[in-house]
Each structure stands twice: as structure tokens, then as C-alpha cells.
Amino acid sequence: MHLRFTNTKAIFQLLVWLLVLSFSGCKYDDLTIAVPNENIRPAADFIKNNYDTRLFYAALRKTGLDIEINGEGPFTVLVPNDLAFNEIGVFRDADFDQMNLDSLRRVIAYHILPRRLYLQDVPTNSADVRYATLEGSELYASLGGMAQGAVVPSNKLCFSGAEASRMDVPLANGVLHIVDKVMKPQFELSIQDWLTKEPQYSVFVEGLKKFGLWDQFAEKGPFTVFAPTNKALEEAGITSLRLQEMVADNYLGDVLFGVYIMYQKHVFISDSDVFQIISGKGTLTYKLKDGQHVMSFGASKAYPTWLMTYNLRLTESDYIFAPQVGQASYEVRAKTDYLCSNGVVHDLDKAMVKPNQALKK
């Protein structure tokens, strides 16, 4: 019995000694249990586990794109937050059941790029930079990176008019940006198609045809068109009947109706914020097709629409003002950013030029 007790005591002492050694061997910081990192998840899993993106995840799941973007990639996913979906009338997962599945899939696929695109990959102080989407068409990025004289970059990043509120979220198979707007391109509609199908633009269409500006909108472009409604044109003295009475050769068509057309650019309303960073002015100045008249465009946020400012003038240079046609400067509340296959259309509730301002001298 005494021998058994001695052996038991020795074994106990040995176990205590081994336990002490094991504790002393664990005093290393690199053995601390790591906190799980949400950013190592693939795209769909990350979106699924973030409360503010639940509606985008519901759309992914509805279209089957959740499986695709959980694949090898790489992908860049532009995720509208739930508020962006609320603004277009989507509040519940079940709301997607009322939509055409093919159309929904195309819209959601437009928010996905088959590549990694970090903020640093977009040219700084740029607009209308084009990137291919998973849907097959292009989207357009603008980045106001560094203001003149600034030390810290502003990094105002927009995609087809949707502003990125959170950028460069790394994923296991790409990168993610949160945006404040659901982008809804008119994939199959040209600017001609869009204006034709909207009856509130019928007088504008008639004027474009009368002054030889209509046929171009069936071409590739791109164009940015600020389209005044019938009511807006009527307030400026332009109706269908008045157009029929006009002799086209007596008017400067590139002023009367060409003032609403910007060539070779996709310009979204949010780009005004980008211009503010790039130039410090918040406006884009360009010449009309006649090469003489100068137009400047700017905008500011005025929820739920934008406040747009226009200024038309005739100049001897870009800097010397010579008011021969008359100056038109308006603040306009407008519906914005109708992205068509060959450009962008913005809806105006005021017209720019009255007929007597566009008479040939």
C-alpha cells in the first residue's frame, strides 16, 4: 500500500510538471485565436451576411447569380444598398417575384464586372471611363480623385451615375463597392427609341426632325441629351403648330434645338460633383455643334431630384462674353440618367432658347 501511494504521488508530481511546461510553451502572441475576418468570404457570401445589402442578395439568389459570383472570379460587384432599392419601389424579397426574370438578371449582371477594379485602378480626375460588365454591355466610371491644391484626395467615385459610398471592400474572389443607386440601363433602346416612346417629348422630337438633328440618334454616339418636355417648350413659345409654321432656314437649328445635345460623352448628373473636384467649378463647358456657342452644365443635389444649372452664351473665345443670342441661365428640377444604348437622356422642365433668340441675323 505504501509503494502504491508513493507511485501515485510521483505520477501526480510529474503531471503537474508537464502542465507547467505546456503553459510556459504557450506564451506566444502568434498562437492567439484570430477574430474571423468577414472580408475573406467570396462575393455572394459577403453580401448575404451584411444587413444593408439583403435586397441585392435576394436579387442575386432570384437570378442565380449568387452561385456565379461565389465562383473563382475575379469579380468587382457594385452593390446598391437597400435604400437604393427602396427608392425604386422594392422593399421585400417577394417584390422581385413580380419582375421579368430575364430583365432582372440583366440589370443585376450590369452591376458585376468580370475583373478586379479597385479605386486606384480608375484613372484619377476622369469621366466616362468604360468597363465591360458581366451583362455584356459597358458601364461608365467617373472619379474625382484630387482637387487642385488639395493634400488629401476626395475620391468621389461614380458608376453610370451611381455614387460609391463604400469602396474597396476586399473579397476572396474580387472586390466590392457599395453604391447609392440601382443602375437600370435601357439595354435595347437607342436615344431615338427612348424619346419616341415617351409622349411628353413629342414636340422636342418634332423640332429635332425639322432642324435635321434627329437621324444622328440612331447612330452609335455617344450623346448626352437634355430633353425638354412639351410643357417646357410651350412655355418658351414652341409648340407643334409653331414648328409647322417655322421656316427652318430662318433659324439657327444648332442653337434652338442643338443646345440640348452634348456629343461624344456620357454625362451623368452625379458627374457634376466630379467636375467640382477636377476643376473647382462643378461645371462642364463645351461648344455646340456650330462651333461658336458655348454651353456650360452643372448640377447639385436637391432630394429627391437634382437641381441643374445651364448657361448658354456666344463668345469670341472661351473667356470673353458677347451677348448676341441672349443668355439663358436656369435652375431646373429634372428626372435624370436614362442610360440608353448610345447615350444618356435627362428630362428638363424648362426650355433653354426661345425662337426669337435663334433667328438668323
Mean pLDDT of 323-337: 53
Residues 175 and 229 in one domain: no
Same domain (yes/no): 80, 173: yes
First to last CA, the chain: 128
Residue 32 lies in a domain: no
Domain end call among 179, 213, 235: 179
User: What average pLDDT score do residues 234-248 get?
Assistant: 96
CATH number of the domain to which 353 belongs: 2.30.180.10
Q: Which of 192, 241, 239 is nearest to 214 (CA)?
A: 192
CA distance 190 to 277: 31
Does residue 285 form part of some domain?
yes
pTM above 0.85, yes or no: no
- Shared-domain flag, residues 215 and 112: no
CA distance 252 to 257: 9
According to the model, what pLDDT value does residue 287 have?
85
Please indicate, yes or no, whether residues 212 and 130 belong to a single structural domain of this protein. no
Q: Does 27 fall in a domain?
A: no
Domain contains 108: yes
> What are residue 177's DSSP bridge partners?
78
Number of domains forming the structure of the chain: 2
Q: Note down the domain range covering 111.
A: 38-179
Q: What is the pLDDT of residues 55-87, one digit of tens each?
A: 999 999 999 999 999 999 899 999 999 999 999
Please indicate, yes or no, whether residues 202 and 351 belong to a single structural domain of this protein.
Answer: yes
Share of the chain above pLDDT 90, in %: 61
Alpha helices in 172-267 (DSSP H): 191-197, 202-210, 230-235, 240-245, 253-256
Report if residue 185 sits inside a domain.
no
Q: What is the DSSP letter of 251?
A: B
Do 200 and 289 lie in a common domain? Answer: yes
Residue 21 covered by a domain: no
Q: 222 in the Ramachandran plot: left (φ > 0), alpha (ψ -120 to 50) or beta?
A: beta
290, three cell numbers = 456650330
